[in-house]
Structure 1
Amino acid sequence: MAVQPKKQVAGKEASPHNLVRGLWQLLRLHTVEGLSTASIGWLALFFYAIQQQISWDALRGTFLGIFASYGATHGVFCIWNDICDRDFDGQVARTRKRPLPSGMVTLLEAIIAFIVGLLTTLAVTYTMLGERVTWTMVPIWGLSFLYPLCKRAIWAPQAVLGLTMASCVLPPWVALGNDYDGSIALPASLFGAIFSWLVYLDLIYASQDRFDDEKAGVKSLAVFLGDNLKAGLTVLGVAQIAFFARAATDAAAGGCLWILGILAWTISVPWSILSLDQRDRKSGGRIFLFNAVLVLYLTAVAAVEVWMSRR
C-alpha cells in the first residue's frame, strides 16, 4: 500500500491520518443512507401492521430493533465495501477523498473496525430482535459481504445489492411472528418493489462515475447499459410502481397510503428519470438523495396509515 504524502499546514508537516473522522465517514454516519436502510425495514413493518391490524404497542420493540440492527449492518458493510474498493476509489474523482484512499484511515484500522462492527451488529440483532430474526438476517449479511466482490466478476453488481436490500423486508415479517408456510403475497410484493427500486437507485448513483468506472475497469450495470441507461431506468421504474401497488392491495391499504404514498411515488419516477442529466456528474447524486429521502417519506405515510386505522 502506497504511503500517503504528508500535507503542509502553516509551514509544518501534518499527517492526513484522522481515525475518528475517518471511521465516521467509513460508517457513512455523515449521510442519510443508514436511515434510508432502516426505513426499508420500517416500511415493511408498517405494511404488515396494516394488513394484520397490529397495535402500535406491539410494533415499538421491533421498530427500535430494526433501527439498531439495520443501522449497524449498513455501517459495518460500508466499511467492508470501502476496504474492497480502496484501489478503485483512488481512481474515481468523486471517491478519491474517502478515508482509505486518502490515508485518513489505514487498511489495518479499517479491518479491525469491520471485525468489531460485525460482532457488535450480531450482538445487537440477537439482543433486540431475537434468535429467529437473527437467522433471517444471515442471508442479508452474506449478500452484503459478496456485493463489493461482484464488481469484479459480473456486469450487474446492482442486482446483488438489490437482492440484499430487498431481503430486508423479511426480518420484520418474522419478528411479528409470521412464518413462510402460509400466504406470503405481501412480503413477495414488497421484495419485488424494493429490489427494482434499489437497482434503479444504484443505477442513478453509478451514473456519476460511469466514465471513471470504464477507465478503472469496474464492472457496473451503468457501464453495461451505456447510452441505454434511461431505458433501463424506465423498466425498473414501471416494475417498482407495479410491485408497490400490488403490496398496497395485498395489505388492504386505505386512501392515505394510496394517494399520499403510492401516487406520489408514481409521479416521482418519471420526474427522476427525466431530470437525470448524464453530462452533469452531480445530477445523479442529487436524484439519488431525493430518492433516499423519498423512501423515508413513503415510510412516514405508511406509519400514518397505521395510526389512522387504529383510531
Structure 2
Amino acid sequence: MPSNSKEHQQKEKGDNVSEATDSNRNLMRGIFELARLHKPELTLLAWYPSVWTLCLVIHTLGQPMGAFDFFSMVFKNYLIVALTHSTCCTMNDILDRNIDGLIPRTASRPLPSGMVSLRTAIFAFIGWAAVTLSTTAYLQGAYSLVLWTPAWILSLLYPLGKRFIDFPQLILGSACAWVLLPAWVNGGGGVFGREELTPMVFFIIFWIMYIDMFYATMDSEHDISAGVRTLAVTLKPRIHFYLSLLAGLQLLCLSILAYRVERSALFWVLGVGVWAVNNVWHISGLRIVDGNWAAGSGHTIFVRNIGLGLWLTVVEVLELWSNGRLAF
C-alpha cells in the first residue's frame, strides 16, 4: 500500500542496496520477475539438452518408444528445469543485488528497484527450492534428487563465480551439462558405461559458454566498473577468435555424436549443417564499433541461439520418427 510515512521510507537494515519506498513495492510482480517467469524462453536453454539426451538414449538402445511415454518424459523434464531456473534466478538476484543496481540493464530488477525487500526474496527462494525438490521427487522418484543435485549446486555457484574467476561461463555450461544425467537415466540409459553421452556433454558445455559470451557483451562495459568478471571482458580483443574456436568444438562434438549412433543424412544436413551455417552467421554479426559493442548485437545473437536450439530439437524428434523409433 502507498504510504507517506517516514518510517516506510527508511532503508531496510542489513541490505546494502538503496531501496525505494513502499510506494514502489509490488510483491506479486517482484516474485514473478525474480523467478524470470516473464522470460520463459530462458528456461529452454537448459531444457533442450534434456530432450536431445532422451533422443540419444533411444538411438543408442535401438528400441522404439511410444510417443506418449516420450512426450511425458519431455514435459516432466521441462517442469523440473523451469522450477530449477526460477529457484536459481531468485538466488542469483539475491547475491547480485548490489551489482545489479550499478548496471543499467539490471537496475530495474525487483531488489535494486525496491519492488520487493531482501527478506521477501529470501522467502521466495526457499519456497521455490521446496517446490523444485518436491516436484522432482514426485515426477521422477526420490532417487532423481541425487541425479539433479550437481546441476542445482553448479547453478547456485554461478553468480559467485562471476566474482572470483574470469570464466564463469564454464560453471554455467557445466550446470546445463549435468541436466543430461537425469534425462539419460530416466530414459533407460543407465548410470554408468555409456560413452555415447560424452560428446553430448562437451557439446552442451561449449554451446552454453558460446552463447553466454554473446549475452555478456550487453553488460561488459558496466561489468568492468562493477568488478564483475566474465569472458566477454577478458577476451574482448580476441573474442571473435575464441567464439570461432568454441563453434568449431561444438561442431566436432555434434559430428562425433552423429557418427557414433549412425545418424541419417537428415540429421547431418538439417542438424550439423544448419548448426555450422548459424555459427558463421552469429560470429559475423557480433560487432565492435569505436571500441564498444554494437548496441543489441550480442542480445540478438543470444535470441537466435534460442531459436537454433529449438530447430535442433525438432530435427531430433523428426529423426526418431523417420527411423521408426518414435511410435505414434
Query: Are residue 289 (structure 1) and residue 298 (structure 2) matched?
Result: no
Alignment length (residue pairs): 303
How far does residue 188 in structure 1 lie from its aligned partner after superposition? 0.7
What are the superposed Cα offsets for residues 118-149 of structure 1, whole Å, 9 maximum, x if unpaired? 11111111111123332110100111111111
CA distance in 2, matches of 1:250, 1:123: 37
* Range moving further from structure 2, 270-279 or 187-196: 270-279
Structure 2 matches for 1:259-274, cutoff 5 A?
259-274=269-284
Q: Report the alpha carbon displacement of residue 229 of structure 1 after superposing the two structures with TM.
A: 1.3
Q: How does 1:137-148 map to 2 (within 5 A)?
A: 137-148=148-159
Distance in structure 1 (CA, Å) of the matches to 2:84 and 2:169:
18
Whole-Å separation in 2 of the counterparts to 1:125 and 1:250: 31
Contact 1:51/1:253, CA 8 A, preserved across alignment: no
1:19 and 2:27 aligned? yes
1:108 corresponds to: 119
Q: Which stretch has the larger CA shift, 55-64 or 95-104? A: 55-64
Of the structure 1 ranges 210-219 and 56-65, higher mean CA displacement relative to structure 2 is found in 56-65
Tell me if structure 1 keeps the 8 A contact 2:57–2:189: no
Q: Is the Cα contact below 8 Å between 2:176 and 2:204 reproduced in 1?
A: yes
After superposition, the CA RMSD in angstroms is 1.6
Q: Is the 8 A contact 1:161 1:199 kept in 2?
A: yes
TM-score by length of 2: 0.88
Aligned CA distance change for structure 1 residues 54 and 113 (closer, same or farther; 3 Å): farther
TM-score (norm 1): 0.93
Q: In the alignment, which residue of structure 2 is the partner of 1:177? A: 188
Query: 1:185 touches 1:250 (CA, 8 Å); kept in 2?
Result: no
AA aligned opposite 2:317: A
Structure 1 or 2: larger helix share?
A: 1
Distance 1:44 1:181 in 2: 15
One-letter amino acid matched to 1:301: V
1:3: Cα distance to partner?
Answer: 4.5
The 2-side partners of 1:195 and 1:36 are apart by: 12
Whole-Å Cα distance in 2 between the matches of residues 29 and 38 of structure 1? 15
Distance 2:164 2:28 in 1: 33
Q: Which consecutive unaligned segments of at least 5 residues does structure 2 have?
A: 1-14
Match of 1:300 among 314, 317, 320: 314
Q: Which residue of 1 aligns with 2:12?
A: none
Is the contact between residue 73 and residue 121 of structure 1 (CA under 8 Å) also seen in structure 2? yes
Match of 2:240 in 1: 230
Gaps of 5+ in 1: 7-13
Letter in 2 for 1:230: H
Distance 1:4 1:180, change over 3 A: closer
Distance 1:162 1:196 in 2: 7
**C-alpha contact 2:20 2:113 (8 A) present in aligned 1:** no
Alignment identity in percent? 34
CA deviation after TM superposition for structure 1 residue 18, in Å: 1.2
Residues 49-88 of structure 1 correspond to what in structure 2 (within 5 A)?
A: 49-52=58-61, 53-55=63-65, 56-88=67-99
For the 8 Å contact 1:137–1:171, the answer to whether it is kept is yes
Q: Is the 8 A contact 1:230 1:273 kept in 2?
A: yes
Q: Which has the larger radius of gyration?
A: 2
Pair 1:90-2:104 in alignment = no
Counterpart of 1:9 in structure 2 is none
For residues 109 and 153 of structure 1, what CA distance do their matches in structure 2 show?
27
Preserved contact between residue 36 and residue 293 of structure 1 (Cα < 8 Å): no
Question: Residues 70-219 of structure 1 correspond to what in structure 2 (within 5 A)?
Answer: 70-182=81-193, 184-219=194-229
Counterpart residue type for residue 51 of structure 1: T
**Paired position in structure 1 for 2:258:** 248
Give the Å deviation of 1:267.
Answer: 0.6
Give 2:44's aligned amino acid: L
Partner letter of residue 164 of structure 2? Answer: A
The alignment status of 1:40 with 2:49, answered yes or no, reads yes
CA distance in 2, matches of 1:86, 1:293: 30
> 2:132 and 2:276 mapped to 1: Cα distance?
35
Moved more, 15-24 or 162-171: 15-24
